[in-house]
Amino acid sequence: MSDAIRLLEERASSAGLSWPLRPWPRTGDVRERLAANPFLMAPMAGVSDRAWRLMARAGGAACAVSEMVSAAGLHYGSEKTWDLVRPDPAEDALAVQLFGSDPHLFEEAAERVAERLGAKLLFLDVNMACPVPKVVRKGEGVALMDDPLRAHRIIAACRRGLDRAGLPVPVTAKIRLGRSPYAPSAADVAHAIALAGAAAVSIHGRYGSQGYAGASDDEAVREVARGSSLPVLASGDVRSAERCVELARCPDLAGVLVARGSYGNPWIFSDALRLLHGERVPVHGVDERLGALELHLRLLGLTGEHVLKGRQIACHYVRGLPGAAASRRRIMAAVTLDDFLEVIETLRCRAASAEDPGQIEAEGSWSL
């Protein structure tokens, strides 16, 4: 038994999380697999590491996707790149997102990832949505949407690589409405990748030229979904359980990707599932929030991640708690797990001495 598994067995329940993990269905098309739970943890560069994925899965996410993994990095044998693909023993399964622009490298990467992960690989996702300039300048990310034929070739290449490895798991893609309003659209790209054998497509409701500014255009995403043969998952501005359910109830959509909404809120997935089924959503009070923060911080070390990642993680969890401003200053100065645990103990003491604990919980509610 790994240390992470032991920790989750001991602490998940007190943090309002679930253990063991509920497996994602391995049979049926993507829409059928999402029927029981349509809420997935989105890939986030620099964020969705092993500890984050475990927290999201314990928080009720149907599955979790890796950070963006460079197909070229895998080709050149970069250990740093391969580390992004490595699941923790506590992870029952993992979806891997690849990025790049060369179909040949995607084919090789798909085969090698399948060989490395084996039965733990749920599906491969191709990033055609990242708007970061250093990615787009290389013809990667959302730049791929300018060339639907290349997008088609990349999906087909991934399928060939997986078939050669003897692991024909689904291949999906994450796209935007387009690189800009004047470039090939999401509908064009969705059609091209469907012909290549893609199993589903996730659509972020902004153009690449917008970055993350403005509001995600739900109706534009639904319009693409209505005209596509692929199951469509919605992405963008999914920052609360209520928002998750609003999208999940759209008949045109098959699922929902949650990214920034999971910051300091691993329960967003299980809360959304309860709301979807008409059930009461529990209040995640101070004890659960601090318990989840401590669990997340301890998982960082046990899964091989750097403890300094805990600075940003902790700031999200403590927002709204008594003494949060002073605590954030101490959090940003923390360099060891013990430093973080001291801050957590201080917050627990403040909460215990508060005159109205119910008010703390009300003030502590949040959405990003």
For residue 31, the tally of other CB atoms under 10 A from its CB is 17
Q: Report the C-alpha gap between 64 and 14 in whole angstroms.
A: 22
Q: What is the pTM of this model?
A: 0.94
Domain residue spans of the chain = 3-276, 286-364
List, for residues 192-217, the tens digit of each pLDDT value. Answer: 999 999 999 999 999 999 999 999 99
State what percent of residues in the chain have pLDDT above 70.
Answer: 96
State what percent of residues in the chain have pLDDT above 90.
Answer: 92
Which has the higher per-residue pLDDT, 355 or 316?
A: 316
pLDDT score of 368 more than 50: no
130 is catalytic: yes
Q: What integer pLDDT is reported at residue 294 of this predicted model?
A: 98
List, for residues 111-161, the tens digit of each pLDDT value. Answer: 999 999 999 999 999 999 999 999 999 999 999 999 999 999 999 999 999
Average pLDDT of the residues in 283-304:
96
pLDDT score of 329 more than 50: yes
Q: Strands across the sheet with 94-99, in order?
A: 39-41, 255-258, 232-235, 200-204, 171-176, 121-128, 94-99, 65-70
The CATH number that domain 3-276 falls under is 3.20.20.70
The CA-based dihedral angle spanning residues 290, 296, 301, 305, taken in that order and rounded to the nearest 10 degrees = -140
Q: Which residues lie below 8 Å from residue 1, measured CB to CB, with a gap of 6+?
A: none
Residue in 130, 244, 250, 349 annotated catalytic = 130
Give whole-number Cα distances, 47 to 305, 318, 356, in Å.
11, 18, 35
Give whole-number Cα distances, 309 to 122, 297, 334, in Å.
27, 9, 10
Q: What are 32's two structure tokens? A: 């059928």
Give whole-number Cα distances, 42 to 96, 192, 262, 269, 289, in Å.
11, 23, 9, 12, 22
List, for residues 77-87, the tens digit of each pLDDT value. Answer: 999 999 999 99
Q: What integer pLDDT is reported at residue 352 of this predicted model?
A: 82
